[in-house]
Amino acid sequence: MVEVAVVGGTGYVGGELLRILLQHSDVEVGLITSRRMAGEYVYRVHPNLRGYTNLRFEKPDLNRLSEFDIILSAAPHGAMLNQTAELVGMGVRVIDLSADYRLKRPELYEKYYGFTHPHPDLLEKSVYGLPELHRAEVKNAQLIACPGCTASAAILALAPLSKLIDSCTIVMDAMEGSSARGAEPSQASHHPERANVVRPYKPVGHRHTPEIEQELKAFSGKEFKVALSTFAVDVVRGILTASHVFVEADKATLWRTYRSTYGREPFVVLLRDYKARYKLPDPKIAVGTNRCYVGFEVDPDYGRVVVLSAIDNLIKGSAGNAVQCLNIMLGLDERKGLDVIGCHPI
């Protein structure tokens, strides 16, 4: 049994981390932190956890955190930036779900996050926590930087195709549920404004763009530009990406490439079933699971391949992916705590 700490436990991602970890047979949660809710019972913030834990939130303290071998940090971007570096320096292994250590080029933090990164040396040492691409590195990593939710879906959709095509610009649309905006409400995110919408909220310059470009290059050795536009849609959980690549492609070759890349992956499902009710990826069937559904269509009239992916943004896009990394670090079956069947209908 391994005892872990969860930092930043009050948000949606923190709640999902706890939901998964509290039912994990090889992990015990020994500490859950929150500055704002310190002293309060966890189940009063996450009502679905009532009866599963009597832990209370504690204020984050480096000395206390350093007692744990592994920490999963779901704190907001920047909130644990320096503390994470200190913990890694103490020999603690950290799985960071924020954006603080995802990008290898420090100048990109100035462009996309508005600050100068204080620990550029750690950016090179961190491992991008997408097991399907970095499984061997995750095993012995000291610092894992988990992907953004949109980036997770996009990279898994495009990585196999990137091996088959030359450097190019890829046009991508991503439709995202309201939980991707976090637990803190804003004028744009509360129900009267958020319901019944398909709202473009970041047509250009999305901060997950450099992650996608970085990882496609790492996987294929080629430079790609990803023109990403994101839309808020009237669902709570889920992301659907649709990527448009203008290339002449053979359907059989595409299937062979995707199958050879993901045929043994426990959480990537290739979907293109015209006899099924759900013929192509749809976030509805991914909700509550750590699965990424990937499919594609070939458009011979316009020399285009459309690649689709669907995930639950809080699970494969965040908490579930982090637990998958944790399982790899501990030498466990990657499916431990994550091998669940989604609900239908929802």
Which member of 149, 168, 292, 343 is catalytic? 149
Q: Are residues 81 and 184 in the same domain?
A: no
117 and 168, same domain (yes or no): no
Nearest CA to 113 out of 201, 230, 203, 207 is that of: 207
In a domain, 280, yes or no: yes
Predicted local distance difference test score (pLDDT) of residue 60: 93
* Structural domain contains residue 212: yes
Q: Do residue 274 and residue 158 come from a single domain? A: yes
**Pair 167, 219 in one domain:** yes
Q: Are residues 121 and 158 in the same domain?
A: no
3-state secondary structure of 226: strand
Task: Let me know if residue 102 belongs to a domain.
Answer: yes
Structural domain count, the chain: 2
Given this model, what pLDDT does residue 180 score? Answer: 78
pLDDT bin (cut points 50, 70, 90) of residue 179 is confident
The per-residue pLDDT for 72 is 98
Span 293-313, average pLDDT: 97
List the domain range (segments joined by +) for residue 208. Answer: 150-313
245-249 long-range contacts, CB within 8 A, separation 24+: 245/158, 245/161, 245/165, 245/168, 245/170, 245/304, 245/305, 245/306, 245/307, 246/168, 246/302, 246/303, 246/304, 247/164, 247/165, 247/168, 247/303, 247/304, 247/305, 248/303, 249/164, 249/165, 249/298, 249/305
The CATH number assigned to the domain holding 15 equals: 3.40.50.720
Q: Are residues 34 and 87 in the same domain?
A: yes
Between the CA of residue 329 and those of 134, 140, 144, 297, 326, what are the distances in Å?
12, 6, 10, 36, 5
The kind and range of the H/E element at 210 are helix 209-220
- What is the dihedral angle through the alpha carbons of 107, 109, 111, 113, rounded to the nearest 10 degrees? -170
The Cα–Cα gap between 248 and 229 comes to 24
pLDDT at 197 over 90: no
Together in a domain, 8 and 97: yes
Radius of gyration of the chain measured on its C-alpha atoms = 20
Q: Is 103 in the same domain as 252?
A: no
325 is catalytic: no
Are residues 209 and 269 both part of a single domain?
yes
Residues 10-36, mean pLDDT to the nearest whole number: 97
Mean of all residue pLDDT scores within the chain: 95
Q: Is residue 204 part of a domain?
A: yes
344 is a domain residue:
no
